[in-house]
Structure 1
Amino acid sequence: MSEDSLPASKTTKPRFRKLKITGIALLLLAGFVFVNNTSLLAFPGGDAPQLLAHRGMSQTFDMSGVDSDTCTAERINEPRHDYLENTIRSMKAAFDAGADQVELDVQMTKDDQFAVFHDWELDCRTEASGKTRDLTMAQLRKLDIGYGYTADGGKTFPFRGKGVGMMPSLDEVFDEFGSQELLLHIKSDDPAEGELLAKRLSTLSDKRLRAITVYGGDKPIAALREKMPKLRVMSKALMMECLGWYEGLSWIGTVPASCRNTQLHIPESYAPWLWGWPHRFGERMASVGTRVVLVAGSGEHSEGFDSAESLRRIPEDFTGMVWTNSIEVVAPRL
């Protein structure tokens, strides 16, 4: 006898049982996913977020319309202090204010050293022109790195003449900050820069290297990682690979191998879509030696948590790192 010729009651019961079993299975799966990823069952360690000071203590600027070629020194806000980014003095002030890690930019020089300076070109912040890498470290040290800063469209230059000799070498930074956490930013996409940095970093002790992270262009970071596989590094390609695999697999609690030993800069607009955000996600990354840094907005152009109001957007009990461009404003409030 075919199923079509059976009474309705006899055909409905098996179908109902199948639907019931499917429904129970889906509920169990949903329960498993919830329990495995909820932060309600995670216990964050520490008392407050750690702070990452972008470029040390520095001058802030209007970020509207900023792109990769914008000279930000020409659009600074009215100065609240006299510190200039990427200097020994500004880094020391950031650590003294409460920074747990300080970010700095490095540029390769003509004589195969590393200058600590933001720009590929010199004409935005200094009185010189041309590429940073076309001058030696000795030549760069003679420049006035405060020359181009203006808050009023060029009417006045409050730091002109005050930045002569203040561009440090990376060696000087290592000598000054022997144990503090540093985040080095390779600004180019030149693999030769990654190879040269690997050569310099390989002279440091394992203990010192554990407090150093390097991020930047995909090619130099790949070259650096090939030479120093144990060093904590991050690039856009590495982060996309990590998060892509994480979103696909980690609802079951696993952490992809591509997420190991790196530092993830997570935009706050994307963070809520991560499995287990914030505490379970943080626990998982910590278990594989990876740091989590929360950056403001969409993560474009180094947006940071720079005001008392912005701090309210940080998840409660978050104990990862928070990116800030105004360490002097944020640190006292945390």
Structure 2
Amino acid sequence: MQKRKGKRTYIIFGVLTLLVVMVWMNNTSLFYSKDTNYKILAHRGLAQTFDISKVEYDTNTADIIYPPEHPYLENTMPSMKAAFDNGADVVELDIKLTKDHQLAVFHDFALEYRTNGKGEVKDYLMNELKKLDVGYRYTADNGESFPFRGKGIGMMPSLDEVFAAFPNKEFLIHDKDGDMETTKVLWDSYLSKMSKKQLDKITVYNDGDSEGFDYLRSKHAELKLLTKTMMINALLKYELLGWTGYIPKELHNMELHLPLKYAKYLWGWPNKFIDRMESVNTRVVIVEGNGKWSEGFDTKESLEKIPEGYQGYIWTNRVDKVTK
């Protein structure tokens, strides 16, 4: 009897060991190349940066920039060109709907945060927004000086200007309004006119839950989309079943913005996971910090945190620093 129990225990232990080895083999990135070949996603082109620790929900980040180290302003044509010229693979930009149903490239809900205007983008025609100075409010010394004042007049672009200037580049479009009206204009007036090859280079996201994203999905099933709720729900399902290699359909045709400190808990992290996501048209981007305030890999020192051989994308506000 004792021998029989011992044999049964040995068999159970052997089966469990085999299962553990199989799960490990199915999810290890050990056999991938250790060469550094990640790609760069430049947040708002090449932007002025600031102390992330000072940011709250109502913070005007133009009021707290570091002393400028370059002449570029976020969400402008020169900043996007500079980002691409410095090696960015993708540029992120923000859109808001204007009074005449165009899409302006601008981030804030209040024009007075950054410009010499007042009110919201939706209160103005696109040609009226062109008269504003998008560098008016930037200051690094609590308002003692405004280094970009007068230098940003006419520099708020429309989305069609961006597409015309960079027809073969990849963009991550942040739908700041997050409502059906803006999203329909984005598709009907812009994306619907693109070829499939061009659409493959476009991703659309929103911080919350955009009611228009179901509309986008109905128009083009393979368009990469992201909302916070979409990502959380999809990754929870993956954590339950991903050890088998199964990829829930909710993870198909997406973009994932993953804080590095949490990403390491995903099955197959990093490169086995990235391969799985690429197989279903999903892009993997890692961000610094907890992902709350668009914190990026903005210094050479921060790049040291990136896993060896990582093959996805990194989020940065200073592409000029991290590619030199």
Normalising by the smaller structure, the TM-score range is over 0.9
Name the counterpart of 1:289: 281
User: 1:136: how far off?
Assistant: 1.2
Task: Indicate the SS of the match to 1:41.
Answer: coil
- Written as runs of structure 1 = structure 2, the 5 A alignment for 1:260-299 is 260-299=252-291
User: 1:241: how far off?
Assistant: 2.1
Task: Indicate the SS of the match to 1:293.
Answer: strand
Task: Indicate the SS of the match to 1:261.
Answer: coil
Name the counterpart of 2:172: 183
Superposed CA RMSD: 1.4
Name the counterpart of 2:89: 100
Name the counterpart of 2:230: 238
Please give the alpha-carbon distance, in whole angstroms, between the structure 2 residues aligned to 1:67 and 1:17: 62
Name the counterpart of 1:27: 17
Task: Indicate the SS of the match to 2:94.
Answer: strand
Of stretches 252-261 and 298-307 in structure 1, the one that deviates more from structure 2 is: 252-261
Please give the alpha-carbon distance, in whole angstroms, between the structure 2 residues aligned to 1:315 and 1:163: 39
Query: Counterpart amino acid of 1:62?
Result: D
Is 1:158 aligned with 2:147? yes
Deviations 1:121-156 (A, max 9, x none): 111001111111111111111111000000000000
Query: Counterpart amino acid of 1:35?
Result: M
2:204 aligned to which of 199, 214, 218 = 214
User: 1:225: how far off?
Assistant: 2.0
1:250 aligned to which of 227, 230, 242 = 242
Please give the alpha-carbon distance, in whole angstroms, between the structure 2 residues aligned to 1:190 and 1:289: 25
Please give the alpha-carbon distance, in whole angstroms, between the structure 2 residues aligned to 1:302 and 1:242: 21
Query: Counterpart amino acid of 1:19?
Result: T
Q: Could you say if the C-alpha distance between residues 191 and 67 of structure 1 is closer, same or farther in structure 2, counting changes exceeding 3 Å?
A: farther
Higher Cα Rg: structure 1 or 2?
A: 1
Query: TM-score, length-normalised on structure 1?
Result: 0.93
For structure 1, list consecutive stretches of 5 or more residues without a partner in the other structure. Answer: 1-9
Deviations 1:249-281 (A, max 9, x none): 110112111111111111101111001111111
User: 1:43: how far off?
Assistant: 4.8
- Written as runs of structure 1 = structure 2, the 5 A alignment for 1:1-334 is 10=1, 12-43=2-33, 48-200=37-189, 201-216=191-206, 217-219=208-210, 220-332=212-324
Deviations 1:148-171 (A, max 9, x none): 000000000001111110000000
Of stretches 103-112 and 185-194 in structure 1, the one that deviates more from structure 2 is: 185-194
Please give the alpha-carbon distance, in whole angstroms, between the structure 2 residues aligned to 1:263 and 1:161: 37
User: 1:19: how far off?
Assistant: 2.3
Identity across aligned pairs (percent)?
50
The answer (yes or no) to whether the contact 2:96–2:104 under 8 Å persists in 1 is: yes
